[in-house]
Amino acid sequence: MAKKVARAPLDYLNMPAMKAWLAGVFVFLYTPLIILILFSFNDSKANVVWKGFTLKWYVKAFENTQLREALLNSLLIAGVCTIISVVLGALMAFAFWRFKFPFKGPLESGMSLPIVVPEICFGVAVLMFFAKIGFPNDLPYPFNLTQIILAHVTFAFPFVAIVVRARLESFNSELEAAALDLGATRYQAFRDVIIPHMKPGLIAGGLLAFTLSLDDFVITFFASGPGTITFPVKVYSMVRFSVTPEVNAASTIIILITVIATVLALRAQSATTKES
Amino acid sequence: MQDWREDKTFFRATIALPVIWFLIFFVVPMAMVWAYSVGENVGPVDVEITGTFANYAKAFTPEVLKVMGDSIVLAFVTTLICLVVAFPVALAMTFADEKQKAWLLLLIMLPFWTNLLIRTYALIAVMRSSGVINTGLEGLHGLLAFAGLQMGTFEPLPLLYNKFAVVVGLVYVHLPFMVLPLYAALDRLDKSLIEASLDLGAGHLETIRRVIVPLAAPGIAAGLVITFIPALGAYLTPDLLGGPDDLMIASLIERQFKRANDWPFGAALSFILMYITLLFFAIRAFMERKGGKVGAH
């Protein structure tokens, strides 16, 4: 189709007022982040006036053992959380997609509650739960992260289930029937026909679980035992005292990881919609 | 879809793990909070579940009511600002071509995926008294004074640690929550209706008011709920950007657990927040069902 020269009546995006509005919104959304990234390279402790390019805050951030430990903890938690969430989320999506069973509706609504419940409510619930069952607080590393991982999986896997379920809707059930006709067992058909179809959903869901876990502060704040720190918890305590360029540098690294994960997730998801 | 009885083992094999996980790590902890909300402190660490409503009654004392009222007002103002800011964005996205749509979506989503703490921290760096905005204003002030204007001494604007900062922070964080449902609703609209309205002589604003908004009402309602609920329960933003008088419910709950050590009261507050949340979602589900019925006729 040839591109129109004059603005079509519904082409709101090309209205000057709309362009200005969009520009304003994106300036609002991105200025703080861009300033944060810029000042992570600024050779000044005061953080406001540009004094020249430096990488020393990155060096400092990496030399800060606590910060490094917190970052590694967060990545480890997010990694384990992703694996468990993908398995649980995929099973849940499959079961709800495939079977009719009594109390299905209420169970489905119930299991999406972790998505809608305010973080603070689930956070205190987790705190109370681990305190009451007497979960050991002094496990050696990395097992001292168990509580946080358990809590993260609980709110992350329903998100994975939603993404995988959306993917399953485009599955052609005749493929599975064909596999069964040709002599595959239920499990073989599941493994060799359904799981490959789920794959883009699994990737997108997994990356979602990863970012959710990496992002979480409130639930971690309540679930973590004394002495376990994650990146957001560490940054929180640093921000309480002062704004330092070290935090800028560490934040920039996390932003970079997030942007990569998001772009990968969107790619996986757009592959999903294109095929369907 | 298959009846579960046709293949019991396979059904059990797939559903067992997620359900067990959900029961142990979600239902049991939430039930504990609920039990505690009707319990009493009987010792420094012991709580007895007595079935009392005293903890809920405590939530109706003036101090607590003030915090709840403040929270609701702050969340409500945030939601309205988000709606006003997000509506044109969603409208522009709806009528953009595929490529622009993808870009706009990505640009809206990226901050959303960025760590909440980092975003809040970035706002602090911009808004604090020696932050970017105030330094810029100071420079401007100095320039004007240099030009011979009588300016007096420069006072940095008190941008942080007040309700203004909390609302800015909440809008900053929750804007994507509003854009996405609005976009989803507007994208489903029958565009010929809008064209018809414009053809028949209505202006853009009139078309928005009388055609687009009524048709997109379910999406707008969804956006309002999806934005209001997390804003109401926000912990980090009011905690870091607000002053000591700008407590919201979440901070009050946190205090009962970490500082005041009044778990039963904290549990009751937590469940009040839960009930409000569930009420809003129930209203939304009800409206959606009603909207669906109207649409079907």
pLDDT above 70: percentage of residues in chain A: 92
Give the separation between CA A113 and CA A109, rounded to whole angstroms: 7
CB A263, CB A203: distance < 8 Å: no
Residues of chain B with pLDDT under 50: 293-297
Q: What is the pLDDT of residue B295?
A: 41
Q: Of A95, A247, A259, which is closest to B110 when you measure between CB atoms?
A: A259
pLDDT > 50? residue A63: yes
B188 inside domain? yes
Residue identified by tokens 């970052």 is: A71
Q: What is the mean pLDDT of chain A?
A: 86
Cβ–Cβ of A36/B125 closer than 8 Å? yes
Q: What is the pLDDT of residue A273?
A: 60
> Which residues of chain B are within 8 Å of residue A78 when distances are taken between CB atoms?
none
pLDDT > 60? residue A6: no
Confidence of residue A121 (pLDDT cuts 50, 70, 90): very high
> Which residues of chain A are within 8 Å of residue B100 when distances are taken between CB atoms?
13
Residue B150 distance to chain A (closest CA, Å): 26
* Domain region containing B96: 54-296
Residue A152 distance to chain B (closest CA, Å): 10
B44 inside domain? no
Which sequence spans correspond to the domains of chain A? 64-275
Closest CA to B175 of B266, B237, B133: B237
Which string of b and e fits A211-233 if b means at least 16 CB within 10 Å? bbbbbbbbbbbbbbbeebbbbbb
Cβ-proximal residues to A129 (8 Å cutoff; 6+ apart), any chain: B25, B28, B29, B32
DSSP state for residue A42 in the 8-state scheme: B
What mean pLDDT is predicted for residues A22-34? 92
B5 inside domain? no
- Residue B129 contacts A, CB cutoff 8 Å: no
- Residue B275 contacts A, CB cutoff 8 Å: no
Q: What is the pLDDT of residue A119?
A: 92
User: Is 2.60.40.10 the CATH number for A64-275?
Assistant: no
**Treating both helix axes as pointing N-terminal to C-terminal, what angle do A65-98 and A245-275 enclose, rounded to 10 degrees?**
20
Cβ-proximal residues to B291 (8 Å cutoff; 6+ apart), any chain: B217, B218
Could you tell me how many helices (H) and strands (E) chain A has, helices first?
Answer: 13, 1
Confidence of residue A274 (pLDDT cuts 50, 70, 90): low
The total of structural domains in chain B comes to 1
DSSP 3-state percent helix, strand, coil across chain B (nearest 5): 75, 5, 20
Q: What is the pTM of this model?
A: 0.87
Residue A111 distance to chain B (closest CA, Å): 7
pLDDT > 60? residue A219: yes
B128 inside domain? yes
Cβ-proximal residues to B196 (8 Å cutoff; 6+ apart), any chain: none
Sign of the four-CA dihedral A233, A234, A237, A240: negative
Which CATH number do you get for residue B203?
1.10.3720.10
Interface confidence, given as ipTM, is 0.88
- Residue A195 contacts B, CB cutoff 8 Å: no
- Residue B148 contacts A, CB cutoff 8 Å: no
CA distances from A118 to A115, B199, B253 (A): 8, 46, 12
Nearest-CA residue of chain A relative to B7? A99
B106 inside domain? yes
Q: Which has more pLDDT, A15 or A48?
A: A15
For residue B268, which amino acid is it?
A
Convert the pLDDT of each residue in A141-189 to its tens digit. Answer: 888 899 999 999 999 999 999 999 988 988 888 888 899 899 888 888 8
Q: What is the pLDDT of residue B56?
A: 92
Q: Which of residues 62-121 of B touch A (CB under 8 A)?
A: 85, 88-89, 91-92, 94-96, 100, 102, 104, 106-111, 113-121
Residue identified by tokens 């959380």 is: A81
B6 inside domain? no
What mean pLDDT is predicted for residues A61-72? 88
B36 inside domain? no
Q: What is the pLDDT of residue B261?
A: 83
CB B115, CB A215: distance < 8 Å: yes
Q: What is the pLDDT of residue B179?
A: 92
Cβ–Cβ of B113/A211 closer than 8 Å? yes
